[in-house]
Structure 1
Amino acid sequence: MILQHKIAFNLKKPHQFLALGFGLGLAPKAPGTFGTLAALPFIFATMQLGWQWQVLVAVLLSVVGIWLCGKTADDVQVHDHSAIVWDEIAGFYITMIGAAISWQSLLVGFLLFRFFDILKPWPIKLLDKQVKGGFGIMIDDVAAGLFSLIIVQALFKTGYLG
């Protein structure tokens, strides 16, 4: 068992291991930022697929995330504990759908996603405050990913990125 903020997580439980971003969510500082990095293997593994397949993977990451995050939150009796980062994984993955992957695009996508995830402008903040359970944990990060995706794609289309 791993203790963080007096909460006992058990990385031997597969759903907790995944929900905590393979353990990255247990970083003592900025767990969401570190957890976001756990999206990189998914991005690299699917970057050669068409955008349609990437959308399918994003949907799967998000749907599975509803259960993973909800179950882990129930286990520790804390809604959206900062160590639960599967939502960040799905959100950053969504950000990078259809993007030509380079260190520049990954950095811009990462910064945009973290911006929207941390500041939570409307309607992201509304979703974060009003929706509960596993779906509630996931939906604000999915929305942040969609906002970031739109900007990343606009940067590619206008030639500022890529």
Structure 2
Amino acid sequence: MRGIASLGGIGFLRPAPGTWGSLAVLPLALLPPWALVLAAAIFTAAGYWALTRLPEAAEDPGWVVVDEAAGQSLALAAAGASWLGVVLAFLLFRAFDILKPGPVGWADRQHGPFGVMADDVVAGALAALALLGISWLGWL
């Protein structure tokens, strides 16, 4: 369970384990958007499953980074094929995850495995929406 929750130990890297967890999935940007959405769903399901079996993970310890993998994968699904899109997906996701605006903050205040996973999935969805808007405006 710890292996899943920590993405094979990546969550134990210091400093900023959440950033390491987000960086770890950037190579997935080579996949098509549908595969990134599928990856986000798999990370979410596997993370939730693992967290329900790890009582110490119920309050989101820093080493749990499978949630970052889920959210970052979702953001990458809207990044397009450009390196700029990937960089923006990373920066937007991390900003939403750290600053926790609106619905991200609400999700973060939920308890247990749901809350641990939800704030990052919502941050990834917001980053994806922002990227789609940027792309629609022709800036990406």
Q: Which residue number in structure 1 is paired with residue 45 of structure 2?
A: 63
- Structure 1: distance between partners of 2:129 and 2:63: 27
Normalization by structure 2: what TM-score? Answer: 0.88
2:129 to 139, 142, 150: 150
Quote how far apart the aligned CAs of 1:86 are: 0.3
Q: Deviations over 1:57-79 (max 9, x none)?
A: 3222212221123334x1x3662
Given that residues 69 and 86 in structure 1 are in contact (C-alpha distance below 8 angstroms), is that contact kept between their aligned partners in structure 2? no
1:14-33 matches, within 5 Å, as 15-33=1-19
Paired with 1:110 and 1:62, the residues of 2 have a C-alpha distance of 18
Amino acid in the other structure paired with 1:43: A
Aligned to 1:79: 59
Structure 2 contact 96–127 (Cα < 8 Å) conserved: yes
Runs of 5+ unmatched residues, structure 1: 1-14
- Aligned pairs, how many? 140
Within a 5 Å distance, the mapping from 1:25-64 to structure 2 comes to: 25-44=11-30, 47-48=31-32, 51-64=33-46
| RMSD (CA atoms) | 1.8
TM-fit CA distance, 1:84: 0.4
Q: CA deviation at 1:43?
A: 3.5
* Structure 1 residues 42 and 68: alpha-carbon distance in aligned structure 2, compared to 1, 3 A threshold: farther
**TM superposition score normalised by structure 1:** 0.77
AA paired with 1:114? R
User: Which ranges of structure 2 fall in alignment gaps of 5 or more residues?
Assistant: none
CA distance in 2, matches of 1:98, 1:116: 15
Could you say which residue in structure 2 is the equivalent of 1:12? Answer: none
Match 1:138 to one of 90, 95, 117: 117
Cα distance in structure 2, aligned partners of 1:96 and 1:157: 16
* Runs of 4+ residues over 6 Å off in structure 1: none
**C-alpha distance in 2, partners of 1:152/1:42?**
17
